[in-house]
Amino acid sequence: MTKLSVNINKIATLRNARGGDRPNVVQAAKDCERFGAQGITVHPRPDERHIRYQDVYDLKPIVTTEFNIEGNPTPDFLKLVKDVKPEQVTLVPDAPDAITSNAGWDTIKHKNFLTDIISEMKSLGIRTSIFVDPVESMIEGAAIVGTDRVELYTEDYARQYHANREAAIAPYVKAAVKAQEYGIGLNAGHDLDLDNLKYLKDNLPGLLEVSIGHALICDALYYGLENTIQLYLRQLK
């Protein structure tokens, strides 16, 4: 079964909109795990507009499943990761002012940069994953820099899904096969939801984990958090 890691950034966005500590991010993470989530994902950004760096420190002692920290590997981010030592770090090349992640790494152009960071993370016992577009050459580059996993950026798949899901999934299948050839683990994330998740899972060989936040939290407004997590888990069976 493909694992579900719940991104709780939107919980923090709601808290920050009003100030105070409601909803409580730590309690939300505990609840997600209690309701069946197999991982917790956070993506702190420099302006701390949703998850704050302190949240990450607060979450580390209580997350009992896989803790996945995503972000652009700036010096501050890398210090946070070294301090917390999550099970997985996902390196994302997002600009500081990006609303959300919108592109994967050019693993060829940034070969030396990624190789150095990944080597350091591995020396600390942290599994590394890098955010990439579904392009075979980028998977090849990911193998060269030594990453443990790649996370396929699935916005294009989600956008095209209802018009032609076979065409939408095609480049992702090629990327997944290439990852298997190189022995790289496969994650996926971005704009996945209850409509498009099962088809992705059924057609991507070796899909280990999906990270889902925005759609899942939106669905929870209607279905409740516990029920929503169970609905997503059913799509992954």
What CA–CA distance (Å, rounded) separates 5 from 51?
16
Is residue 234 exposed (0-12), middle (13-18) or buried (19+ Cβ within 10 Å)? exposed
110 is a catalytic site residue: no
User: Could you identify the residue written with the tokens 């669905």?
Assistant: 219
Nearest to 150 by CA among 168, 167, 172, 170: 172
What CA–CA distance (Å, rounded) separates 231 from 237?
10
What CA–CA distance (Å, rounded) separates 72 from 80?
12
Which of 43, 50, 151, 209 is the catalytic position?
43
Which of 33, 70, 151, 209 is the catalytic position?
70
What CA–CA distance (Å, rounded) separates 154 from 135?
12
What CA–CA distance (Å, rounded) separates 190 from 210?
9
Q: Residue 225 is encoded by which pair of tokens?
A: 């958090």
DSSP 8-state symbol, 51: S
70 is a catalytic site residue: yes
Q: Is 117 strand, coil or helix?
A: helix
Which of 50, 151, 190, 209 is the catalytic position?
190
What residues are annotated to the active site? 43, 70, 190
